[in-house]
Chain A
Amino acid sequence: MTGDASSRPSWWRRVAIYLYQRPNLSLVLLLALPLLWLAVFYLGALVSLLIQSFFKLDGFTGRIVRQFGLETYQQLFTAANMDVVYRTVIMAAVVSVACAVLAFPLAYFMARYASYRVRGILYLAVLIPLWSSYLVRVYTWKIILAQEGIITWFFNVLGLKPVLDAILAIPLIGGSSLSFSFIGMFLVFVYIWLPYMILPINAALERVPKSLIEASSDLGGRPNYTFWRVILPLTVPGIIAGSIFTFSLTLGDYIIPSVIGNSSFFIGRAVFAQQGTAGNIPLAAAFTVVPMVIMGVYLVVAKRLGAFDAL
């Protein structure tokens, strides 16, 4: 290595020494490229989006008027557009709750009962769906939920077809088939985001100190009592951390509502339609401000509740 170093031009070494003596300069140099990238391509884009939300579309000419104003936001707060917002937020909330209920037992089993080997396998079993193609997984549900698909077949085999029909007949959330109903969309959302809930809950459960559980049982707490009064409260930050993902991802998704469901608008689809076919970029931008504000508030509350330590 000495030969290597001496054969190098000495200015190389001088640069190294110069930088070593100036840690602040080194820091700036290291940060310059990535920060420049993020500032130009990302922050710049976000700011330009925010600015555009204060412009407005001229209804007569169809051109964007580059003038600061709040007309676009007035348009956003009309009943039809607010319906889209409410629908999306309710879906996001219901999906988050369902994900938590479904994820908890698996996370709990992984953290407390699985052997080291089994735990590794279960991790992989959660990570593979998380990382494998999102679009393909959505498409699979198109197959599963189709009228002639496996779920209908399953109900038929069990002789429960009337039950399925009754469920689909429920106004609002039902539809002609699962594939064209809110129930179907709900199932797909839960399926796609479930791993995002399992991992933080599992992490929170693994951090519950064994000593606390032992102390509780030493003091006479039965397993049930220990679970409800010690383990569950300590896992709440994990559940909230998971819900940050499920909530935010549902708010911003536009693929699932356009593949599954009865083609009613969700925020994502509204944004897509406004900027695409309607050419109303200001309104599309104003629509994206909604999930940003909601997630901003959500993150502040989550931080108060200690969810960030569970990430």
Chain B
Amino acid sequence: MRSSPALSVSPVMEGQRASLGLKASAGFALLFLHFPILIIILYAFTTEESSFQFPPPGLTTRWVSELFNRTDFWNAFGLSVLVALVATAVALVLGTLLSLALYRSSFFGKESITLLVILPIALPGIVTGIALRSGMSLTGLSFSFWTIVIGHATFCIVTVYNNVIARLRRTGYSQIEASMDLGATSFETFRYIILPNIATALLAGGMLAFALSFDEVIVTTFTAGQQETLPIWIFSQLTRPRDRPVTNVAALFVMATTFIPILLAYRFTNDSQGR
């Protein structure tokens, strides 16, 4: 369940200092989380062509231009962007509808519905993947762009749903009541009251959904057929040692492109927390 956590303010122990052991082990965990990212930056510029030799014998930017000329990479990149955009759009609509329906109502089966929303991402990816594949093969649906989108949108709904429902709960119902009291219809209330309130939550949920879809490989391998999304391209590169330097640059490039939506999503969720 990759949901953005809410920053809750808890008491910081004033006047107390962390022990050296605690600082060291916390620092170790941080280092462990981040040194691989430094490694990928370094190896994108190594002159070594066939092995993962450390330290690199020299540095070069030659692989960057080589990647630039690889049409297979750019085709995969384009397909991934397109899939992520459409899947995000579907997830935004479905996730918003769900959160509007569920945030203030209680009825029999509500728990089951929330479980159903979470399930595609809570169950191991391989289960979701093979379930979709067997479902598609049973119904005779042939693999296409749309089968990838169906899979991605299904597990992206939860990120939008989580963000929007959290925002709706914080917004409070009085504004909506006031709008209705002043004669606005439900549609007008949605357009002028609810939508502005949930706008940044939609953006954040959308960004996370985009990042999730852009990066997904496990479910995609089951629903893509012969098509290559960017993660599938990278996965196939791993078994091609001759292409290693180009793969390194591609890895850095993918890392950098997913940074932006993550940082933006983080800003959108946190800005609203300060309100």
Question: Which residues of the other chain, B, contact A198 by a CB distance below 8 angstroms?
Answer: 29
Q: How far is the CA of A48 from the CA of B5 in the complex (A)?
A: 34
CB proximity to A under 8 Å, residues B94-127:
94-95, 97-98, 100-101, 105, 107, 113, 116-117, 119-120, 122-127
CB proximity to A under 8 Å, residues B1-26:
1-2, 4-5, 7-13, 16-18, 22-23, 25-26
Q: How far is the CA of A191 from the CA of B32 in the complex (A)?
A: 7
Q: Do A128 and B262 contact each other (CB < 8 Å), given the known contacts A37-B154, A114-B12, A133-B231?
A: yes
Q: Which segment, of B65-73, B164-172, B180-188, B195-203, faces chain A?
A: B180-188
Do residues A42 and B131 form an inter-chain contact, with CB atoms below 8 A? Answer: yes
Do residues A288 and B258 form an inter-chain contact, with CB atoms below 8 A? Answer: no
- Closest 9 CB pairs between A and B? A252-B124, A45-B135, A16-B185, A30-B101, A105-B25, A146-B52, A206-B10, A109-B26, A210-B11
A187 CB to nearest B CB, Å = 9
Question: Which residues of the other chain, A, contact B4 by a CB distance below 8 angstroms?
Answer: 127
Do residues A41 and B150 form an inter-chain contact, with CB atoms below 8 A? Answer: yes
Q: How far is the CA of A52 from the CA of B134 in the complex (A)?
A: 8
B83-96 vs A, CB cutoff 8 Å, 1 = contact: the mask equals 00000001001110
B266 CB-CB contact with A under 8 Å: yes
Do residues A245 and B235 form an inter-chain contact, with CB atoms below 8 A? Answer: no
Do residues A49 and B126 form an inter-chain contact, with CB atoms below 8 A? Answer: no
A192-208 vs B, CB cutoff 8 Å, 1 = contact: the mask equals 00110011001101110
Work out how many contacts link A and B, with CB atoms closer than 8 A. Answer: 281
Do residues B138 and A48 form an inter-chain contact, with CB atoms below 8 A? Answer: yes
Q: How far is the CA of A169 from the CA of B31 in the complex (A)?
A: 27
**What are 7 A-B contacts with C-beta separation under 8 Å?**
A1-B192, A34-B117, A38-B117, A43-B116, A116-B9, A140-B37, A275-B134
Q: Do A112 and B12 contact each other (CB < 8 Å), given the known contacts A140-B40, A149-B54?
A: yes
A106-147 vs B, CB cutoff 8 Å, 1 = contact: the mask equals 101111111110011011111111111111110111111010
Do residues B124 and A295 form an inter-chain contact, with CB atoms below 8 A? Answer: yes
Q: Which segment, of A67-75, A76-84, A158-166, A265-273, faces chain B?
A: A265-273
Q: Do A41 and B52 contact each other (CB < 8 Å), given the known contacts A140-B251, A253-B218, A295-B123?
A: no
Do residues B255 and A132 form an inter-chain contact, with CB atoms below 8 A? Answer: yes
B49 CB to nearest A CB, Å = 13
Question: Which residues of the other chain, A, contact B188 by a CB distance below 8 angstroms?
Answer: 1, 5, 16
Question: Which residues of the other chain, A, contact B43 by a CB distance below 8 angstroms?
Answer: 143
Question: Which residues of the other chain, B, contact A106 by a CB distance below 8 angstroms?
Answer: 25-26, 29-30
Question: Which residues of the other chain, B, contact A199 by a CB distance below 8 angstroms?
Answer: 5
Do residues A148 and B54 form an inter-chain contact, with CB atoms below 8 A? Answer: yes
Do residues A144 and B39 form an inter-chain contact, with CB atoms below 8 A? Answer: yes
Do residues A34 and B132 form an inter-chain contact, with CB atoms below 8 A? Answer: no
A27 CB-CB contact with B under 8 Å: yes
Question: Which residues of the other chain, A, contact B247 by a CB distance below 8 angstroms?
Answer: 139
CB proximity to B under 8 Å, residues A166-209:
191, 194-195, 198-199, 202-203, 205-207
Q: Do A113 and B12 contact each other (CB < 8 Å), given the known contacts A1-B192, A128-B259, A135-B215?
A: yes
Question: Which residues of the other chain, A, contact B23 by a CB distance below 8 angstroms?
Answer: 109
A202 CB to nearest B CB, Å = 8
Question: Which partner residue on chain A sits nearest B5 by CB separation?
Answer: A199
Question: Which residues of the other chain, B, contact A115 by a CB distance below 8 angstroms?
Answer: 12
A93 CB to nearest B CB, Å = 15
A181 CB to nearest B CB, Å = 16
A229 CB-CB contact with B under 8 Å: no
Do residues B119 and A133 form an inter-chain contact, with CB atoms below 8 A? Answer: no
A251 CB-CB contact with B under 8 Å: yes
Chain A interface residue count, CB cutoff 8 Å, equals 104
Question: Which residues of the other chain, B, contact A153 by a CB distance below 8 angstroms?
Answer: 54-55
Do residues A42 and B95 form an inter-chain contact, with CB atoms below 8 A? Answer: no
A90 CB-CB contact with B under 8 Å: no
B217 CB-CB contact with A under 8 Å: yes
Question: Which residues of the other chain, B, contact A102 by a CB distance below 8 angstroms?
Answer: 25, 28-29, 32
A150 CB-CB contact with B under 8 Å: yes
Question: Which residues of the other chain, A, contact B120 by a CB distance below 8 angstroms?
Answer: 38, 42
Do residues A124 and B266 form an inter-chain contact, with CB atoms below 8 A? Answer: yes
Question: Which partner residue on chain B sits nearest A53 by CB separation?
Answer: B134
Question: Which residues of the other chain, A, contact B134 by a CB distance below 8 angstroms?
Answer: 45, 48-49, 52, 275, 281, 285
Q: How far is the CA of A65 from the CA of B53 in the complex (A)?
A: 51
Do residues B208 and A131 form an inter-chain contact, with CB atoms below 8 A? Answer: yes
Do residues B16 and A113 form an inter-chain contact, with CB atoms below 8 A? Answer: yes
Given contacts A45-B136, A288-B127, 17 further A-B contacts (CB under 8 A): A12-B185, A34-B117, A44-B135, A49-B135, A113-B17, A119-B7, A125-B34, A127-B266, A129-B37, A134-B215, A136-B254, A149-B53, A191-B33, A253-B124, A255-B218, A275-B222, A291-B126
Do residues A134 and B124 form an inter-chain contact, with CB atoms below 8 A? Answer: no
Question: Which residues of the other chain, B, contact A232 by a CB distance below 8 angstroms?
Answer: none
Do residues B217 and A255 form an inter-chain contact, with CB atoms below 8 A? Answer: yes
Question: Which residues of the other chain, B, contact A31 by a CB distance below 8 angstroms?
Answer: 97-98, 101, 113
Question: Which residues of the other chain, A, contact B18 by a CB distance below 8 angstroms?
Answer: 109, 112-113
Question: Which residues of the other chain, A, contact B127 by a CB distance below 8 angstroms?
Answer: 46, 49, 252, 288, 291-292
| Residue in B122, B187, B262 whose CB lies within 8 Å of A16 | B187
Q: Do A144 and B186 contact each other (CB < 8 Å), given the known contacts A153-B55, A252-B125, A281-B134?
A: no
